């Protein structure tokens, strides 16, 4: 059975600094004309930066849309047309102050496929030299470090619920258990 829908019309409803919102008209494989709401996002990266003691840098920050403080792996938004590795190298310095070395691409995460175009590239890296933290003007965060076991426990006990952090913790745990990292 064919599943792909055909876009008939794209209508931009909102064009903001981070996202664009569309209200599209599409045709389903069986011929129905339907309305589809789409959030366009340039995508981002998540970075698991491991120090020499096997602990990972974590950022704790208030997430306005969720109205709560969340613990996450460092992350950031891609600039239009930017290579994900370039974004990862920039964002890890901005948020932690440390360069990353020996980057490994862990794959991609599609956080909300029903209505959002965002794709997050996931990276693992080792801690490099200190370069100085350069947070964005409106960015406030606290840094901490956690081991894979501490991360896993926090996820299991509902203290960490950020999708990229949950997925990356699983990937890193498996990578380490399989002796790939």
Q: In terms of Cα–Cα distance, which of 25, 110, 16, 98 is closest to 57? A: 98
CATH 3.90.79.10 domain span(s) along the chain? 44-177
Do the Cβ atoms of 164 and 122 come closer than 8 Å? Answer: yes
Cβ neighbours of residue 59 closer than 8 Å, sequence gap 6 or more: 71, 72, 73, 74, 75, 95, 96, 141, 142, 143
Output the pLDDT for position 136. Answer: 80
**3-state SS, residue 26:** strand
**Backbone Cα Rg of the chain:** 18
- CA 174 to chain CA centroid, Å, is 19
* CATH number 3.40.50.300 given to 44-177: no
Segments in the chain below pLDDT 50: none
Separation of alpha carbons 51 and 153, rounded Å: 20
Output the pLDDT for position 28. Answer: 98
Strand 120-130 versus strand 44-50 pairing type: parallel
Output the pLDDT for position 180. Answer: 58
């Amino acid at each position: 059975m064919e599943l792909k829908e055909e876009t008939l019309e794209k209508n931009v409803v909102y064009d903001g600094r981070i996202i664009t919102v569309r209200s599209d008209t599409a045709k389903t494989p069986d011929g129905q004309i339907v309305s589809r709401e789409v959030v366009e996002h340039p995508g981002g990266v998540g970075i698991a930066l491991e120090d020499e003691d096997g602990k990972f840098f974590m950022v704790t920050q208030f997430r306005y849309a969720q109205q709560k403080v969340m613990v996450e792996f460092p992350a950031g938004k891609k600039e239009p047309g930017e290579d994900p590795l370039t974004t990862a190298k920039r964002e890890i310095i901005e948020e932690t102050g440390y360069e990353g070395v020996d980057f490994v691409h862990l794959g991609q995460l599609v956080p909300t496929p029903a209505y959002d175009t965002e794709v997050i590239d996931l990276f693992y890296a080792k801690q490099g030299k200190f370069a100085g933290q350069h947070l964005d003007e409106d960015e406030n965060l606290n840094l901490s470090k956690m081991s894979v076991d501490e991360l896993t426990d926090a996820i299991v006990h509902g203290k960490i619920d950020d999708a990229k952090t949950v997925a990356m913790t699983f990937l890193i745990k498996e990578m380490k258990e399989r002796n790939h990292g």
